[in-house]
Amino acid sequence: MTRLNGKRALITGGTSGIGLETAKQFLAEGAELIVTGVTPANVEKTQKELGNQVLVLQADSRDLNAQRQLAERVEQHFGKLDIAFLNAGVSDWRPFEQIDEEAFDRLFAINVKAPFFLMQALTPVMANPSSVVLMGSSSSHAGYAHSNAYAATKGAISTLTKAWNSDLLSSHGIRFNTVSPGPIDTPLYDKNKLGVSDEIREMVINRIRDGIPAGRMGTAEEIAKAVVYLASDESRFTIGVDLVLDGAQTIL
């Protein structure tokens, strides 16, 4: 399909998981693409995987100057931007008592402050009309244990979706929507990232699955397809939506 044919798109945090899968689907739909990642190794790997038609850049979300420089690179490369998927983020699922000030500040710096100021820098670069999709989380819609500060950052993202539409839809033609996935089968759940044994990992995964009425975790492909829809002109009357994709987990 060519739903994004000729569209100029940016995906932050696009070197793994949902971001990388979305990049692949954007390409399949005809988009021109810039992708960002944090580590040089992942940037290099993604560049090889996506090919030379994609510009893969290193950009640290915690560095606001780097965010502003990213907006400048986008303008230099594309002139104007039709689509932005602000996907870069981190999670921290420690118990409430174990979240210290450093962890709290890191979550808000990367998940809220970075996209806020990146969007501020990107606004003059966005085409009219254009579409921005933000990465939320189903945890902001339910009181999951150990989600605490992380869920608060994603609640902020959901609120920004509404506020930015009020600020920028009429004046700049930019529409905002959010995707809020539940548990997704990505490298986030690899035993090495979890820091546990195969046995413990399987126990964690089974416990998660037991809490999902659909009986399974979601896939990166399923979330990416939703992002493609929200990015495309098919959804041009879809504005301010926080689309929860969690196998009905939050209805329990």
Per-residue model confidence (pLDDT) at position 91: 83
For the chain, the farthest-separated pair of C-alpha atoms sits apart, in whole angstroms, at 54
User: Phi and psi of 62, rounded to 5°?
Assistant: -75, -15
Per-residue model confidence (pLDDT) at position 189: 58
Buried b (16+ CB within 10 A) or exposed e, 216-242: ebbebebbbebbbbbbbeebeeeebbb
Rounded CA-CA distance 225/29 in Å is: 11
Whole-prediction pTM value?
0.93
The 10s digit of each residue's pLDDT in 57-83 is 999 888 899 999 999 999 999 999 999
- Element containing residue 35 per DSSP (H, E): strand 32-37
What residue ranges define each of the domains in the chain, with the CATH number in brackets? 8-185+220-251 (3.40.50.720)
Asked if 229 is an active-site residue, the reply is no
Per-residue model confidence (pLDDT) at position 233: 98
Per-residue model confidence (pLDDT) at position 191: 45
Rounded CA-CA distance 76/189 in Å is: 37
- Helix H segments across 88-147? 101-108, 114-122
Q: Which residues of the chain have pLDDT under 50?
A: 191, 193-196
What count of residues does the chain have? Answer: 252
Per-residue model confidence (pLDDT) at position 119: 97
Per-residue model confidence (pLDDT) at position 197: 66
The active-site residue, picked from 144, 150, 189, 229, is 150
The 10s digit of each residue's pLDDT in 97-141 is 988 999 999 999 999 999 999 999 999 999 999 999 999 999 888
Per-residue model confidence (pLDDT) at position 46: 97
Angle at which helices 64-78 and 114-122 cross, to 10°: 30
DSSP type of residue 98: G
- Element containing residue 8 per DSSP (H, E): strand 8-12
